Structure formats: structure tokens, C-alpha cells
Amino acid sequence: MGRFQIVIDCTDPELLARFWAEALHYQLEPPPEGFDDWNDYWRSVGVPEDELGVDFDSIVDPSGQGPRIWFQIVPEKKSLKNRLHIDVRASGGRSTSLRERKQSVDAEAERLTALGATVTRVVDREGVDHYAIAMRDPEGNEFDIN
């Protein structure tokens, strides 16, 4: 497992956990061994009943290579541009032709749009060997596909 975790503030942790698990090919983090669900675990460590209710709020890389991502519930909605964002690598890299990279990035943007993301802009300048699509997740957090 990675040596750090990424924490994303949000108002609906399970919605974002499910979205990002699909987007990053991660999986919802299962509850600790011996517990049927996360609420059972949190009860066992003394979390008050009125703070329970979110079934899944974290995701993990099934290969164990990438960091755990925790979606922390906060009362306020997102209001400003992110200072940090995720790049979803879908193009195959520079060894792949620009035409093929564009097709791969477009296909990934279409897949993520179907999961609730929205396109904000396409980065495609004549004469530049780069192509990306800027998007927002279901709560408005910015990310790029490249």
C-alpha cells in the first residue's frame, strides 16, 4: 500500500468514492476483517451513532501500488478552484501517436461523463504534441485526462 493517502473534502463521500473507484480502476475499501460494514467497525471504536451512515468513504488500488483515497465529509460545498488535482492517464504516453492518444482520451472522457463527470474544456492546440480534456467530478472537483 502507498506510504500516504489523499484526502478529498466533499459533501457526499459515497458518491465520490464510487465515481473515483471507477475512474481510477480502484475498488471501494472493504471494512476491516470481522466487520460486516464500516458502520459496525466505527461503532466498535466508539464513534457516536449520529456520526454514522456513510457506507463507503475510501478507495484503494487493488494492486496495492497507489495511495488510499479518503473522501472526508465536510459541511460546506466546494467554492474555489482546486489547488491540487488528479491527472487520469489514459493516452498511452508519448510513444503512442497523437491521433491514438486523442481517441483514448476522448473515450475515457465519454466513460467518465457517463459516470457523472462534466467536460470543462479540451486542450488541443495546433502544432503542440499534447492533448487533454479538463473535467469536473460529480461535486465539481477539477481533474484532467491526458
**Could you report the per-residue pLDDT of 12-65, keeping only the tens digit for each?**
999 999 999 999 999 999 999 999 988 898 889 888 887 777 788 899 999 999
Question: Measuring CA to CA, how many Å separate 11 from each of 3, 27, 93, 144, 145?
Answer: 26, 20, 34, 21, 24
Instruction: Write out the H or E segment, with its range, that includes residue 98.
Output: helix 98-114
Give the DSSP letter of residue 35.
-
CATH number of 86-145: 3.10.180.10
pLDDT digits (tens, 9 = 90+) for 118-132: 999 999 988 888 999
> In the chain, where does the domain assigned CATH 3.10.180.10 lie?
86-145
